[in-house]
A and B are shown apart, each in its own frame.
Chain A
Amino acid sequence: MLELKHIYKWVNTGNNRTFLLKDINLTINEGEFVSIMGPSGSGKSTLLNIIGMLDGFNEGEYNFMHESVHQLKEKQRSSLYKQYIGFVFQAYHLIDELTVYENIETPLLYQDIKSSERKAMVADILDRFQIVGKKDLFPTQLSGGQQQLVGIARALIARPKLLLADEPTGNLNSKQGEEIMELFSTLNKEGMTIIQVTHSEKNADYGSRVIHLLDGMIEKK
């Protein structure tokens, strides 16, 4: 599905060059559930953002679904992730002014999907996540677990091929976290490719493969 070759990313501070990522080589196939682990500052989130095309890199090649991402223009890149990638965040990042229903609907609005079709898609996912009763509530009226559920529903609504999750359970208690990981595992079984960043060995165990990062480099495969 995607392939990273000799990816470097750095920032210049004065005369020093600090490497965030160094010579990353990584291939992820469709249907995998990969966990990225590592201490703070090891470059996990940076790597995830590069995979998600939210962030660029300084050197190397990135192929995604037979497209050379490093050669694409900003606009093409964004239409690519718009089509194939869903994001889940540690802090949920729901829009406070929108209801649960509207938050989930947002990605569809930007894909020119007809109103009736949108309604059906959102209804489906609400049903599936068993949050139909919460659809008219605002994010602040929900618990953390419920908010993350909405966040995942929003990430999945446009039927992406790849789900990127940056510490999805970081803000949740263990029971809520478990539920989310169970959900991920179900999704993976249904064919969804998932890459998650996590601190927890337990969460990493839900995945099929673990990548350890240290100081911007992949430690072992």
Chain B
Amino acid sequence: MLKNYFKIAWRHLLKHKTTSFINITGLSIAMAASVLIFLWVHNELSFDNYHKETSSVYRITSHINIGKQEPLVWETTPYLLGEKAKSELPAILQVARIRARLYDPVNVNVKGEYIKEPNTAYIDSGWLRMFDYKFVTGNTRDFDSDPTAVLITESVSKKYFGHTNAVGEKLRIDTVDFVVKAVMEDVPNNSSFRYDMLFPIATYRINTRNRQNDEQWGNYNYLTFVRLRPGVGVAAAEKQLTNLMNKERERADLAQSLLPLKDLRFETTLANSVLQHTSKKVVYIFSVLGAILLLIACINYVNLTTARALQRVKEVSIRKIAGAERQQLLWQFIAESALMSFISLLVALLLIRLALPAFNAFTEKNFALNFANSGWWLILGGTLLGSIILTSIYPAILLSSFEPLAIFKGRNVMRIRDTWLRKSLVVVQFTVSIFLIVSTIVIYRQLNFINSQRAAYDQSRVFVMDIPYQVFRGKTPEQRAAITAAIHTGLKTETSVREVSLISQESVVDMRGGSSGDSNDWDGRDKDFKPMIAFLGVDSSFKNILNLQLKEGRWFLSDNAADKHNSILNETAIREFGIQEPVIGKRFTSQGDTGVIIGVVKDFFYKSMHEKIGPVVIRDDQEYNSTFLVQTASGRTKEATARAESVWKKFIPNLPFEYKFTSEEFDKLYRDDRRTATLIWMFSAIAILISCLGLLGLAAHTAERRSKEVGIRKVLGASVVQLVNLLSKEFLLLVILAAAIATPISWWAMTSWLDNFAYRVDLVWWVFLVATAVSMLVALCTVGFQALRAAMANPVNSLRAE
């Protein structure tokens, strides 16, 4: 029986080639896109769930009260908390701590060349017991106690040794030889801990100063994970931890909470984190978008199948007369949908295979078509099932409903509600398309707006070169000044370098940090007013590199010793501090040092446009500045970086040369936004394509159905234009209706998206008009082609057939 179902399904597929082509093309493209999205969603939702103990593991969060403001929330805890919790708290079964190597990055020394490994960490002895790692070779028996031990991933092993069996090999990091104890599999896509090299905490603690740092309750440098004893409630454990912390610190201003390991990926509320996070909302939005794409393609199948229902009336009637039960016919039509979906899935798999490298680059993941992975089966099976259900239910119910006598009745068995439903489904498709087109335009306009920031100065000619902290370790201020002065001179004397400035911030497009407190003062300040202020230490040449505009006053002069105590403020600072006119010459104390305000600089972007520009205080204070901002001569950028490298090698021979162009940093700042833009753009392209494919099929069907009417009208004297108009009008009305529905939805969605930005474009009305016009144009081309063909046909042909 089943064989029979599939046999006839296959023959129908071959017989109606155009319809089948439309269905399979649309469905397979949508399936490929959906599967890729679901792959990503599945990966996000399965983060950190592969450890044996995932469900009982929690990360300790510290909430520190700082007076009236919101408490500070940190993902870090003191080293000592882990020690004490393990030994003193009954609720805690196991403790594991990790410390990312942020401030002492790993520079692997390969025959004198330094290669920086960005993702490395120290782990304590509990780590490997709490979290599952798959080791390829070697073992971790004496790893914890050996300060020269290191664990590396297969990729790292291949990179330095050319093979994955590196156990016992030596890896020189800075000046110390480390021994590879074991090689582990590359970090899974769904792990929060993306470290390629793991060092025992003993490596860190071999240094006396480090150890002393660790022994203080005020240093929050570790992520601490705990495994609760079975039966212990989270609240009870939190209370024990809080009490322990406050007792040891002899204060009561702190609370500890526990975050389940499976929620770690979605912890987006932290101001700072060493881990990467995704918003759960984003995950949900993308799952919905993936499902919608699939839905749009399924709508095509439903529409085309029900539109052609007339051709199946005879078959259904005969089968019923031959004794078929309705249920048996239901299954037959479900089998047809299933076959179509299955073929589409096979084509989709091919598309996925082709798209996977680009998709991996896009998501920065490492997905592979791996059928040993149960996740793939879940996604492919789910997509197939979803598509079968969406495509089969309605057509199967409709087609199997014909009474046996319908065979004699001809056309009027198709009830009006069916065309009504088809029209509604077309409206759904175009609503989604218009929504996505509006989103695409708005997002691109916002990105354009962001990019207009670049116009202030040529970012591709400006790079930052940060002198690593290690260089200055243990040096006196004089020694530091001597080093920076030497590098400064070295850079400045290059002809390919136009301007050099020594600044306090590591970046000028993504400035971090700032402070509040009593060290800033000005006339008229309310004693309780302690705003967050961004401090920027610069020198006299800084202004020209960033092309800053002064609103009033002057910039720092290199030969004016008094300027060391003076400040320049941005417009926001003047406004928020409430400094009265005349501003220039007013007393201003910054970080305890008093001088006057010598200038007001127009507001400039120093961090992401997602955030509001805050008060900025600029000082000509070089003492702790360690970042060089270099502007290259026009057209000599390559030369300049090469020169910078040789200067670096001369003064800092044992560390790898590092520099970043501000244009790259800028791009990185909006990477997520650009990614969203690309995704939405692709979504709308696919949605439009699929919707038009469906429209093409429907229009062809309508033209066929109305061929007699067209013939009669033509004989009676209707022109081709009038006929095309007749056949296209109903479809265009549907697009207009879709626009009416899509407009408020997209207005709402885009307003919420734009609200993520402190600086944003306005949502202008013509965006909706353009989206509607584009959809109408595309629809008109699709429908018009079919309509024209019908209108141009010789009426004799269509009338003779009757």
Contact = CB atoms under 8 A, between A and B. Distances in A.
Given A54-B321, A54-B405, A55-B405, A109 B1 contact: yes
Contacts of B314: 93, 95
B257 interface: no
A107 interface: yes
A110 B319 CA distance: 9
A114 to B, nearest CB: 11
A102 B318 CA distance: 13
Contact of A110 (B7, B323, B405, B408): B323
B405 A49 contact: yes
A87 B322 CA distance: 8
B368 interface: no
A82 B320 CA distance: 9
A93 B318 contact: yes
Contact of B325 (A45, A94, A97, A110): A110
A65 to B, nearest CB: 16
Given A82-B323, A107-B323, A95 B1 contact: no
Task: Provide the main secondary structure of the chain B interface.
Answer: helix
Interface stretch (B8-16, B339-347, B682-690, B731-739): B8-16
A106 B405 contact: no
B4 interface: yes
A98 B323 contact: no
Nearest to A89: B407
Interface string B309-336: 0000011011111111100100000000
Nearest to A79: B323
Contacts of B126: none
A110 B404 contact: no
Contact of A54 (B12, B324, B328, B404): B404
Interface in A119-170: 154, 158
Given A54-B405, A55-B405, A102-B4, A110 B322 contact: yes
Nearest to B408: A45
Interface string A29-46: 000000000000000010
A186 interface: no
A111 interface: yes
A85 to B, nearest CB: 9
Please classify how large the interface on chain A is, using the bins under 10, 10 to 19, 20 to 34, 35 or more: 20 to 34
B529 to A, nearest CB: 83
Contacts of A154: 322
A165 to B, nearest CB: 13
Contacts of B321: 54, 87
Given A55-B405, A109-B1, A109-B4, A97 B15 contact: yes
B11 A97 contact: yes
Interface in B288-317: 314-315, 317
B324 A110 contact: yes
Contacts of A98: 8, 11
B132 to A, nearest CB: 52
Nearest to A112: B1
Contacts of A45: 408
Contacts of B8: 95, 97-98
Nearest to B9: A97
Contacts of A89: 407
Contacts of A107: 322-323
A95 B323 contact: no
A73 B323 CA distance: 15
Given A49-B405, A55-B405, A93-B407, A158 B318 contact: no
B315 A95 contact: yes
A111 B323 contact: yes
Contacts of A158: 323
A62 to B, nearest CB: 17
Nearest to A75: B325
Contacts of A109: 1, 4
A57 to B, nearest CB: 13
A9 to B, nearest CB: 13
Q: Which one of A94, A107, A154 has the greatest number of beta carbons of chain B within 10 Å?
A: A107
B129 to A, nearest CB: 60
A96 B4 CA distance: 14
A106 B319 contact: yes
Contacts of B408: 45
Interface in A174-219: none
A136 to B, nearest CB: 13
A106 B404 contact: no
Nearest to B15: A97
A77 to B, nearest CB: 11
Contacts of B15: 97
Contacts of A94: 318
A81 B328 CA distance: 17
Nearest to B315: A95
Contacts of A49: 405
B192 to A, nearest CB: 55
Nearest to B316: A95
Interface of B: 1, 4, 7-8, 11-12, 15, 314-315, 317-325, 328, 404-405, 407-408
26 contacts: A45-B408, A49-B405, A54-B321, A54-B404, A55-B405, A78-B325, A81-B323, A89-B407, A93-B314, A93-B318, A93-B407, A95-B314, A95-B318, A95-B319, A97-B15, A98-B11, A102-B7, A106-B318, A107-B322, A107-B323, A109-B4, A110-B322, A110-B323, A110-B325, A110-B328, A158-B323
Which 9 pairs, one residue from A and one from B, show the smallest C-beta to C-beta distance?
A: A82-B323, A110-B323, A107-B322, A97-B11, A110-B324, A106-B322, A54-B404, A93-B318, A95-B315
Given A54-B404, A78-B320, A111-B323, 15 more contacts: A45-B408, A55-B405, A82-B323, A89-B407, A93-B317, A93-B318, A95-B318, A95-B319, A97-B11, A97-B12, A97-B315, A98-B8, A106-B318, A107-B322, A154-B322
